[in-house]
Structure 1
Amino acid sequence: MLERIMNARAGLSALAPALVLAACAGAEAPAFSPWPTGTVTASVETAPVGTANADAADDPAIWRNAADPAKSIVLGTDKKAGIYSYDLSGKVMDFVPAGLLNNVDLVELADGTVLVAASDRTEETVARIAFFTLAADGTLTAGPKLPVGSGEAYGFCMAPAAAPGQLARSYVVTKAGPVIETVLGGTADAPIAISTRTLAIPTQSEGCVVDPRTDMLYVGEELVGVHRFDLSEADPKGEIVASADGLALVADVEGLALAPMGKNGGMLIASSQGDNAYVGFMLPGMEYVGRVRIGDGEMIDGTSETDGIAFAAGDFGPAFPNGIFIAQDGDNASEGASISGASTQNFKLVRGDSLIAALGAKN
């Protein structure tokens, strides 16, 4: 794997002058990366979201049922209508109409309550978080909607509490770029904002994920690349740790997911929406690892135009013994038809160990 990384770096260095010249001449980045890209297939696909003939499915999350991993639950947003829960066979367990929800995440609290939250973009000028609780049978119970600042709530992710007295931490990525961090207090039924601060990003961004092991926040600026913020700092300044160069990562940079391995290793995975791929970067240094696509299988089609992604480590039962990777499919053509415009968008579930292997890393 180290040799692959060094070769990839060498290739990027060799191509850099040409990329600069092309940019100066106004040339566009290649539509598909010329770099080698592996293929995996999905084991399961969810039922489509209910909003048809629209770009509707957006972002997944997963709760691991430690007591019975095979009964773990996948969440997915229909950004025109609300939020779904699915079992690991892809069957709908529950749906809550909740308006224009975009991205979703969850944390399991100390008392075992599963707190689910999503970015509510109903109002373009007021960023809100919509809260829910999730039961082990898949039932979602709607809670309050908490305003946390100005701007259209677009991307969203959560992190565990960092200090006593906190419920959790949330990160609303506004569509214009800035990220609103909110330290949450109160209870799962009635979360409150203890404090907020804003992290600067210049242009439209969406995907985000927090690595709770290192307290690093990763945010995808769609046309630029991946920013990293050290949340332990009083005034975090983002740094670009992966560029949308048209080689490793093809804009738009969309969903981000963390595949942890050990104390602070593993991979950050990014949706390279511009060429329907997923890219792995080794943590903590963000070295390029590899690229992969979800291709057509015998019964389940591949993915394209992916927005949100999620990765969860651990045993999830016989079908997913070593992790799960979930990707939104922007063009679910499972009936053999090309459905550009995504009339039946859904989510695809891939074995986590298969994805890691295809990217070229060792789990």
Structure 2
Amino acid sequence: MTKTLTATLAALLPLVAGCSATEPRPAFSPAPTASVKARGETAAVATANADAADDPAIWRNAADPAASLIVATDKKAGLYVYNLKGEIQSFLDAGRVNNVDLRDMGPAGIIVAASDRIDKLNPKLALFRLDPATRTLTPLGKVAVGTGEAYGVCLYRQGTTLSAFNVIKDGTITQVELDLSGAAPAGRIVRTMKLATQSEGCVVDERTHRLYVAEEDVGLWRFDARATGATTPVKLGAADGVEIVPDTEGVTIAAEGDADGGYLIVSSQGDNAYAVYRLSDDSYVGRFRIGAGRFGATEETDGIDIGVGDFGPDYPGGIFIAQDGQNAPRAQNFKLVAWDDIKKALGL
């Protein structure tokens, strides 16, 4: 072997070592994490032996809070409607719907929107109406929302206008203004924003017109939700292994108190926990996890949602719902936690 060849091989060895497929992920040191226990759980989704349950949305029955409903996705099959005891009220075969959100639009009814990724190149927003009397969903139609694989979705009501933010898997976010006045829904893309890498969870604080989006391996971002607003994001929380351990997944808001009061909660999927931020100043306030108890812990949580206020005797101050990615020996489901228990654990 010549000296030149020997030197060349010696120079290449560090590069080969640096590309090792077995290189370990960096060690994380999460911030202190409180523990709470679930007060209930839903029946498991029907799709067994698969990552299937994904995202919940809560409808609060103001006249009878204990009769409130949960709409949740089996992303392999369709949409479930549960009561607060976790019992299945109905199921709609809607195909591969990933994330879900809803808004009570008064005369137009309770509108449910789900990200439809049956066609992974041409994403759709699937729209439904929830009937609280029969506890069933009626399909209204689908609206095109751009190109790419449909992932996250969240609704934004501004006056009488309803818009949907559709998070495409590659980090593109389209804002679609919806028209529900006709026989079938229509939509118009009014704005497009972009994060650099794979993103999913999102939520809007309609009081402050702020959109929050989770970029899975990067962290949490904030946008102006208004169609005329700036499209430049503001970084809130980093997926640095301290506040959030990657992936950064579901996002929800507990709107309380003043015009910008309350908290934002994000799923720290990498260590089975949830990070909490104060809405008024974006400051980090703590972390919690759902520990083992009568209904079990949660692991690898994707979607989350929270409703504040009275939800009946089991959840008098509000209810937090989290997807459970490991629910053996049954299929995946959703765990129900009292918001009061979380606040107490974090000293809020």
* TM-score, normalized by the shorter chain, greater than 0.5: yes
In 1, distance between residues paired with 2:182 and 2:341?
35
Residues of 2 paired with 1:29 and 1:360: CA distance? 31
String of CA shifts for 1:285-320, please: whole Å, max 9, x gaps: 2111011010111x2101000000001111011111
Q: CA deviation at 1:235?
A: 3.5
Between the two proteins, the alignment pairs up a number of residues equal to 323
Between 110-119 and 207-216, the greater mean CA deviation after superposition: 110-119
Is 1:173 the counterpart of 2:167? The answer is: yes
Distance 2:116 2:277 in 1: 30
Superposed CA offset, 1:8-33 (max 9, x none)? xxxxxxxxxxxxxxxxxx974435x4
* Whole-Å separation in 1 of the counterparts to 2:79 and 2:282: 32
What residue number does 2:307 align with? 312
Match of 1:18 in 2: none
Which amino acid counterpart does residue 358 of structure 1 have in structure 2? A
Q: Structure 2 residue aligned with 1:158, among 141, 149, 155?
A: 155
The answer to whether the Cα contact below 8 Å between 1:280 and 1:359 also exists between their aligned partners in 2 is no
Correspondence for 1:325: 320
- Which residue matches 1:348? 335
- Compared with structure 1, are the counterparts of its residues 143 and 231 closer, same or farther at alpha carbon in structure 2 (3 Å cutoff)? same
- C-alpha deviations, 1:200-220, integer Å up to 9, x for none? 111000000000010000000
Aligned counterpart in structure 1 of residue 290 of structure 2, from 279, 294, 297: 294
Residue 203 of structure 1: aligned partner: 197
SS at match of 2:66: helix
Q: Deviation per CA, 1:177-221, whole angstroms, max 9, x where unpaired?
A: 010111111338632114431111110000000000100000000
> Post-superposition shift, 1:230?
1.1
Question: What residue number does 1:77 align with?
Answer: 73
TM-score (norm 2): 0.89
Q: CA 1:72–1:189 in 2, change beyond 3 Å: closer, same or farther?
A: farther
Quote the residue 1:136 is aligned against.
Answer: 132
- State the TM-score, normalized to the length of structure 1: 0.86
Q: How does 1:23-62 map to 2 (within 5 A)?
A: 28-31=25-28, 33-62=29-58
Task: Give how far 1:147 is off.
Answer: 1.0
Structure of larger gyration radius: 2
- What CA RMSD, in Å, does the superposition of the two structures yield over aligned residues? 1.6
Amino acid at match of 2:129: T
1:251 to 246, 249, 267: 246
Which consecutive aligned stretches of 4+ in structure 1 deviate over 3 angstroms post-superposition?
A: 26-29, 232-235
Aligned-partner residue type, residue 219 of structure 2 = G
| Residue 284 of structure 1, aligned match among 280, 287, 303 | 280
**5+ long unaligned stretches in structure 2:** 1-22
Question: SS in structure 2 opposite 1:111?
Answer: helix
Give the letter aligned to residue 157 of structure 1.
C
| Partner Cα distance (2:30, 2:116) in 1 | 37
Percent of aligned pairs with the same residue? 50
Shift of 1:323: 0.4
CA distance change for structure 1 residues 147 and 289 in 2, over 3 Å: closer, same or farther?
same
